[in-house]
Structure 1
Amino acid sequence: MTQHEELVEKIEELQAETAQLRQALVSHAVVDQAIGVVLALSGLRPEQGWEVLKTVSQHTNTKLRDVAQHVVRWPHVGALPAEIRRALRRALAEAHAAHGGRALVRPEQRCEC
């Protein structure tokens, strides 16, 4: 392989890595926004909001960033996919129960999901 070919290959690798990092930043921002929505609904702490999203992702076999996108769009579209809605309701109830009822609202009022 020539030096020019090696440089071209390295540039392509760096471009791919840059694209992945950009996607990761976008995904991270969406997850942070979704945590904010969960916190507004539940009164949980940020780390608990993260756990709620992670639980929903695991129970629905949906990528975390996809769950986050649904949660962030939810206030605008007025609905969640049924499977995510059910998993979110369960995860919020479990988080509420696990933390001694410290949420700002009661479980049945937490979300109209």
Structure 2
Amino acid sequence: MRMLAPACLAVIAAFGPAPPAAAQTLLFQGATESDDQLRQLYDEAGNLCLHNPSRDVRIAVACKSMLIYGLALNERGWCLGHEAEPNALKAWHRCEAGSDRFSRDQLTLF
């Protein structure tokens, strides 16, 4: 057992850690919506999700839709806001270092 850890470390050092599978796979490669349409859909879902305290299913769907539209836009190089920026100031822009990105990890959380 003591030899297993150094052996694993040697393999990782030689080849590097395996990249996450999610980073290699585009979820929305065949999407036909334009970037502007996706931003509009994001805004419409946000109006329902963020301005409604209800726990209705349609509200949950709107909130999850925001994430999906955001992920699709991230795949196309668009990001919403920058790290440590107040939500009220966040705007869509071409992704760069320090840009906020949506996380696939949130897709299964409710």
Structure ranking higher on relative contact order (CA contacts 8 Å, 6+ apart): 1
TM-score tier, shorter chain, comes to under 0.3
Question: When the two structures are superposed, what TM-score results if normalisation uses the length of structure 2?
Answer: 0.27
Question: When the two structures are superposed, what TM-score results if normalisation uses the length of structure 1?
Answer: 0.27
Looking at secondary structure, tell me which structure has more strand per residue. Answer: 2
